[in-house]
Amino acid sequence: MTLADYVETLQAEHRMERVYSFQFEGKSYWLKQPEHPKGIQRLLKPFSRAAFKREIQRIKLLIFQKAPIPPVKIINSRCLVMEDAGRTVRSWLESDITDEQKQRILDDCAKTLANLHARNIVHGRPLLKDILWQNGKASFIDFEVASRSRKLAQQKTRDALLFIYGVCRERTTPAQIQRTINTFIHYEDSRVWHYALSLVKKHRILYYVLLPFKSLAKTDLLGFYVLFETLLTKFL
């Protein structure tokens, strides 16, 4: 039985599951297929097949651009099958690996995002839950936007700040955050980093307005505080 044959069997057995993990000949894979909303979900998600079609088109473009995504084994209008490319970086940071290993993973992510930008590709939301890591290789999943030449500089800047924010909101130390930013700066186009710092400086009033509420903040807002504190004190 080929992988394609096995996937057809899985689709018949797991028709209602949008994402399904499976093993085939000793390797791990992920099957993704269009949603089949029921009841009220049909009203909330009336264009699920159209959304899946757009995702397939985006993945095909990323393959053509040689973007750092998990290896694609099957791609058509009915399903997408990718090789498993490891755990999310968020999961790695929450594990009991050493700080040195965590730093190596963060550095790999910073380099990979900079390399993505060098190909004029943007992610749209490169948080650590959308980056996988395995054996020294970082891979991106769930791309949010298409790269647009007219807005490429702004898109790369948004990517840069969201990536750093993602590092700040996880279980990272100040030293890890600063080292990861330094790695990103080393590999990223200096203009993108300049735009990012300019944006932080322009909107720093938000940090001071929200500062009185820091003691009440939860994870997402705490990441915002750490982002501004790090960039304002260490890089501006």
Q: What is the secondary structure of 3-46 as a DSSP string?
A: HHHHHHHHHHHTTT-SEEEEEETTEEEEEE------TTHHHHST
Q: What is the rounded CA–CA span in Å between residue 234 and residue 201?
A: 13
Kindly report the backbone phi and psi dihedral angles of residue 100, in degrees, each rounded to the nearest multiple of 5, phi listed first.
-65, -40
Residue 37: pLDDT band (50, 70, 90) is low
Q: What is the rounded CA–CA span in Å between residue 170 and residue 149?
A: 32
Higher confidence at residue 221 or residue 38?
221
Say if CB 32 and CB 46 are below 8 A apart.
no
Crossing angle between the packed helical segments 174-187 and 190-202, to the nearest 10 degrees = 130
| pLDDT(39) > 50 | no
Domains, the chain, in order of start with CATH, read 3-83 (3.30.200), 89-233 (1.10.510)
Instruction: Convert 16-55 to b/e letters by CB count within 10 Å (16 or more is b).
Output: eeeebeeeeeeeebbbbbbbeeeeeeeeeeeebeeebeeb
Span 165-186, average pLDDT: 98
Element of type H or E holding 132? strand 131-134
Per this entry, what is the length of the chain? 236
Could you report the per-residue pLDDT of 82-112, keeping only the tens digit for each? 999 999 999 999 999 999 999 999 999 999 9
0.75 surpassed by pTM: yes
For 178, counting Cβ atoms within 10 Å of its Cβ (0-12 exposed, 13-18 middle, 19+ buried), the class is: middle
Could you report the per-residue pLDDT of 40-62, keeping only the tens digit for each? 444 445 456 788 999 999 999 99
